[in-house]
């Protein structure tokens, strides 16, 4: 059952649907809210997020053996991201990671929390770890700037788009020109009972605003950009969520093989949609190259500066410069693509520099 946020009682609040049910899509002025969020003056209610805790002295070394990330030396207050993969290297869970010195906090999408806690409990064996789904007791607030008054709260700072230790960029653009730099992102953990008091009279932005900024930052989201076949390379998640030089974990063989010897079969792209229409395509719409389906729209939003924008996952073989068409039923939308994951990503072994070639 979806738990509805008390902030839905605020004036103008319109509840979101789907994966974001339980919080506001907007509070009456989506674009104004988005500008305020980008400027750092508004906060976003993310109380529908799942929160799983792992306590005990073995927590970090244990999570290190299970996940794609190097966590053994994670310092209190340091933020990270981990993936739990299938044997075939496909993404099963994607968690934001924060440790307070006694407990590791995993912030996940609402649909991940219960299954993640259940899976972790099955894997603990005789180790000194205690796992709990505490989603009902904790809320999350998002912002693009630190809030000094919340300095006593645990806060996860998104490492995106910086390339972490042991990580690797699959993007054509350099780290210093990546659009993700325009979207710093912080997620504060707040006791659920104190959510309204913590927000106080600060301006609120809906989830639509947060999604538009995320899409513009090329930041993939579990459940949106992922499906049951997604591997990290396709979404450029090696930059923040994978340590290529750590010990063994489930799925590592696929991660290493694709990175060193192969190419991911699909790649994430940013789409600038034709803004002359009064509608936007739905998530799940086909992406076409001529008459051929080459991918699927995974996220779409109205950006306050760029207009309608989207993320899509397309076949690696799609030429980078090709103008695409998004087809929503019978309604076509012209879509100019910006390359996120380079078409020649992977196959690092044998490269002279180990860096991706830019498009021509």
pLDDT in tens, 77-117: 999 999 999 999 999 999 999 999 999 999 999 999 999 99
What pLDDT does 358 receive? 35
Co-location of 88 and 168 in the same domain: yes
What pLDDT does 355 receive? 43
In a domain, 346, yes or no: no
Co-location of 40 and 141 in the same domain: yes
What pLDDT does 351 receive? 63
Co-location of 194 and 329 in the same domain: no
Domain count within the chain: 2
Is residue 356 predicted with pLDDT exceeding 60? Answer: no
What pLDDT does 354 receive? 42
Average model confidence (pLDDT) for the chain? Answer: 95
Instruction: Encode burial over 51-72: b for 16+ CB neighbours within 10 A, e otherwise.
Output: bbbbbbeebbebbbbbbbbbbe
Co-location of 231 and 273 in the same domain: no
What pLDDT does 115 receive? 98
Average pLDDT over residues 155-168: 97
Average pLDDT over residues 341-347: 93
How far, in Å, CA of 101 to CA of 266, rounded? 39
Percent of the chain with pLDDT over 70: 97
pLDDT, one tens digit per residue, over 14-51 is 999 999 999 999 999 999 999 999 999 999 999 999 99
How far, in Å, CA of 97 to CA of 188, rounded? 12
Average pLDDT over residues 335-351: 89
Is residue 352 predicted with pLDDT exceeding 60? Answer: no
Average pLDDT over residues 205-229: 98
Co-location of 273 and 218 in the same domain: no
Give the distance from CA 326 to its chain's centroid: 23
Note down the domain range covering 135: 6-235
What pLDDT does 350 receive? 62
Residue 18 in tokens: 């789907």
Is residue 126 predicted with pLDDT exceeding 80? Answer: yes
- Place 2 in a pLDDT band, splitting at 50, 70 and 90: confident
Co-location of 33 and 161 in the same domain: yes
Percent of the chain with pLDDT over 90: 93
φ, ψ dihedrals at 323, nearest 5°: -80, 130
Co-location of 205 and 327 in the same domain: no
How far, in Å, CA of 237 to CA of 194, rounded? 34
Co-location of 118 and 220 in the same domain: yes
- Strand 103-108 and strand 130-133: the pairing is unpaired
Co-location of 229 and 280 in the same domain: no
φ, ψ dihedrals at 189, nearest 5°: -90, 125
Co-location of 184 and 37 in the same domain: yes
CATH number at residue 279: 2.40.30.110
Q: Are 239 and 170 in contact (CB under 8 A)?
A: yes
How far, in Å, CA of 1 to CA of 92, rounded? 22
- Place 1 in a pLDDT band, splitting at 50, 70 and 90: low
Co-location of 272 and 214 in the same domain: no
Is residue 3 predicted with pLDDT exceeding 90? Answer: no
Co-location of 217 and 282 in the same domain: no
What pLDDT does 360 receive? 25
Residues sharing a CB contact under 8 Å with residue 132, sequence separation 6 or more, in sequence order: 52, 53, 55, 117
- Number of Cβ within 10 Å of residue 9's Cβ equals 9
CATH number at residue 130: 3.30.1360.120
What pLDDT does 277 receive? 84
């Amino acid at each position: 059952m979806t738990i509805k946020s008390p902030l839905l009682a605020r004036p103008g609040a319109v509840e979101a649907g789907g994966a974001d049910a339980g919080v506001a899509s907007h509070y009456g002025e989506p674009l104004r809210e988005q500008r305020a969020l980008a400027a750092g003056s508004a906060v976003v209610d993310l109380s529908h997020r799942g929160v799983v805790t792992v306590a005990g002295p073995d927590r970090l070394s244990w999570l290190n053996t299970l996940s794609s990330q190097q966590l053994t030396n994670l310092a209190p207050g340091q933020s990270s991201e981990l993936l739990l993969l299938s044997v075939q290297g496909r993404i099963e869970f994607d968690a934001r990671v924060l440790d307070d010195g006694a407990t590791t906090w995993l912030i996940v999408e609402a649909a991940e929390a219960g299954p993640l806690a259940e899976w972790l409990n099955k894997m603990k064996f005789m180790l000194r770890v205690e796992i709990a789904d505490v989603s009902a007791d904790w809320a999350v607030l998002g912002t693009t700037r630190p809030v000094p008054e919340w300095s006593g709260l645990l806060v996860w700072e998104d490492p995106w788009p910086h390339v972490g230790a042991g990580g690797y960029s699959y993007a054509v653009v350099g780290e210093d020109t990546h659009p993700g730099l325009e979207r710093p992102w912080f997620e504060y953990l707040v006791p659920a009972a104190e959510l309204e008091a913590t927000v106080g009279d600060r301006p609120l932005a809906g989830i639509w605003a947060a999604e538009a900024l995320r899409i513009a930052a090329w930041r993939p989201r579990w459940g949106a950009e992922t499906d049951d076949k997604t591997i990290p390379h396709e979404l450029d998640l090696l930059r923040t969520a994978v340590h290529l030089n750590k010990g063994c974990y489930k799925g590592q063989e696929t991660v290493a093989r694709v990175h060193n010897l192969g190419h991911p079969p699909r790649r994430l792209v940013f789409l600038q949609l034709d803004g002359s229409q009064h509608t936007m395509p739905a998530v799940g719409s086909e992406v076409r190259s001529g008459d051929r389906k080459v991918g699927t729209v995974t996220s779409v939003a109205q950006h306050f500066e760029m207009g309608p924008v989207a993320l899509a996952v397309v076949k690696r073989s799609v030429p980078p410069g090709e103008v695409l068409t998004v087809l929503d039923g019978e309604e076509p939308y012209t879509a100019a693509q910006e390359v996120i994951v380079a078409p020649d990503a992977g196959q690092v072994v044998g490269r002279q520099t180990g860096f991706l070639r830019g498009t021509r």
